[in-house]
Amino acid sequence: MKNALILGFMFCGSLSCFADVFLPKVAYQNFKCQKEAEKVLRVVFAENEPKWERVADADFETQAFRAPTSKTGEWYEFHISENNTPELFFYSLAKTSTSQWTKSCKLLTKQGPGFEFFKAAPGDKEASFTDQDLAKLIHSKKNAVIYLWSPRMVYSVTEFARLRAVIEKRKMEFVPVLDPMVETAEARAAMKKAGVELGVKIAALSREPSSVSFYKRLSSVDLYMRNGTLHFPTMFVVSKGKIHPRRIVGILSDDGLNKSLDEWMAEIK
């Protein structure tokens, strides 16, 4: 890497040639404070090159992008405007920040509290699935599927047991995570009404593979920033110490889910 940088300087004379590594590839050309923004991003993503993903734009003039850092649960969102200076937002459970360049390209940053999904009851430490839980699952190098579900999208309830059985038959860990906007009482009531049993007897295997309770609510910035709550159910594949960047969205047949899982698993290197 060091030699590559030296060769780069021989041809470029500066780090300007590497700007496209840190800036989103699909963006306005020559936007305001571009050099200043690139310098900040170069520091922010010093440990890993950002993998920017285009997200819904804030307005007609702004392009918005998201990228994770090297630490699970820490994300940046970068807004590039045709007429205004860029903005950089940081999100994590511990803290958030909003940064914007002034007209003279001076960076101003305002710190904020950690990203909060819901108000947990005092002392209720087991009520959520956090970025720490996600990091633990990823680092275990298990083959797993995270199943984000909500009683407000009925098929994610009625198809819960069937999809779980397909996943466990593949000897993958099934990790259900509940919509953060829903109280566990509502989720339990929906499961009862739908006649879905969560016991071992419905699983394909005679064991209980999930170390995560069925009603842990989402409190993971990482899964949220990966658009895990845009639709329920949404599934994320974890394998080889990595999480696949794409999601499996909606209800699939047994064959359809197996095909998708085969594809996702093959893509994780």
pLDDT of residue 21: 80
Q: Is 46 helix (H, G, I), strand (E, B) or coil?
A: coil
Does residue 134 carry a pLDDT above 60?
yes
Which residues, 6+ apart, have CB-to-CB distance to 247 below 8 Å? 226, 227, 228, 234, 235, 236
pLDDT in tens, 151-169: 999 999 999 989 999 999 9
Mean pLDDT taken over the chain:
86
pLDDT at 82: 85
Alpha-carbon gap, residue 144 to 147, rounded angstroms:
10
Residue 234, number of CB atoms within 10 A of its CB: 23
Global confidence as pTM = 0.84
pLDDT digits (tens, 9 = 90+) for 212-269: 478 899 999 999 999 999 999 999 999 999 999 999 999 999 999 999 999 999 999 8
Q: In this predicted model, what pLDDT tens digit does every residue of 192-213 receive, in sequence order?
A: 888 876 654 444 444 444 434 7
